[in-house]
Structure 1
Amino acid sequence: MTSTATAIDWENILEKFATYEGTIKSFCKENNVSLHQFYYHRKAAKKRNAPVFHSISFKEGAIPSTSHSAFSIKVEIGKAKIHIPSNDKIALSNILGVLMELC
């Protein structure tokens, strides 16, 4: 499966399986994929799509106080994308407060 002509579009295969009503074994046979490869790619897709959560400490000194922070905090919910400089405690507090009210 190294050539592009024989490469399998796993995203398409996994989307097809989402609406399939038979067994995994019969699905793999009908779509000419090995059972082992199916499980491998399904697990890999779950890992890629899993949300990542990081805790944020509001203790003094936990968030850099310099005006040019080395990192920012990124919040993505659906199509909404929010980027907050890690040193902007007020913006971060306000955005987290609004999100907590909505959820």
Structure 2
Amino acid sequence: MTNEALDIDWEDILDKFSSREGTIKAFCEENNIGIHQLYYRRKKLENNNTPVFHAVSFKDTEADEAVNQENTPSNPSPTATIKIEIGKAKIYIPSNDKVSLSNVFKEIIASC
């Protein structure tokens, strides 16, 4: 493998490829890459971008209220962060912030 092959920005190439016009062969020649390399990198990137879905409950229960009452600035509870990625937008919300999470989902649904 040459140094030139190591310097290829595959995310950029694959972004260009997704909006290409013309043949795959011509695209590969213009970008100095092999067709097999292109397909390999595209498949590898798709496998790395497999989404993970988790259920989030919005129901308030007595247990939630008890936890919320115990979580004071002097007694913080470690919380997981929910990460939402849509295209290049990345949103990080503490999993215990149900109001913000609900608002984000409402905005996403409204824009779809």
TM-score relative to the length of structure 2: 0.54
How far is 1:45 from its partner? 3.0
Runs of 4+ in 1 over 6 A off after TM superposition: none
Which position in structure 1 is the counterpart of 2:41? Answer: 41
Match of residue 21 from structure 1: 21
1:55-91 Cα shifts (integer Å, max 9, x gaps):
2246867xxx47423533334566563431x4x3xx3
Query: What is the percentage of aligned positions where both structures have the same residue?
Result: 43
Give the C-alpha shift of residue 39 in structure 1.
0.6
Distance across 2 between alignment mates of 1:71 and 1:32:
43
Give unpaired runs (5+ residues) of structure 1: none
- Match of residue 99 from structure 1: 104
Task: Note the residue ranges of structure 2 that are not aligned, 5 or more in a row.
Answer: 72-76
Structure 2 residue aligned with 1:83? 93
**2:74 matched residue in structure 1:** none
1:53 aligns with 53
User: Which one has the bigger helix percentage?
Assistant: 2
Quick one: structure 1 residues 54 and 16, their matched pair in 2 at CA, closer, same or farther if it must change by over 3 Å?
same
43-52 or 9-18, which deviates more:
43-52
Q: Quote how far apart the aligned CAs of 1:6 are.
A: 4.1
Q: 1:15 to 1:98 in 2, by over 3 A?
A: closer
* Residue deviations 1:10-33 (CA, integer Å, cap 9, x gap): 233223323431121232234332
Change (3 A) 1:39 1:73: same
1:71 aligns with 2:76: no
Provide the TM-score with structure 1 as the length reference.
Answer: 0.57
Partner SS for 2:56: coil
Note the alpha carbon deviations across 1:29-48, whole angstroms, 9 max, x for none: 34332211101112233344
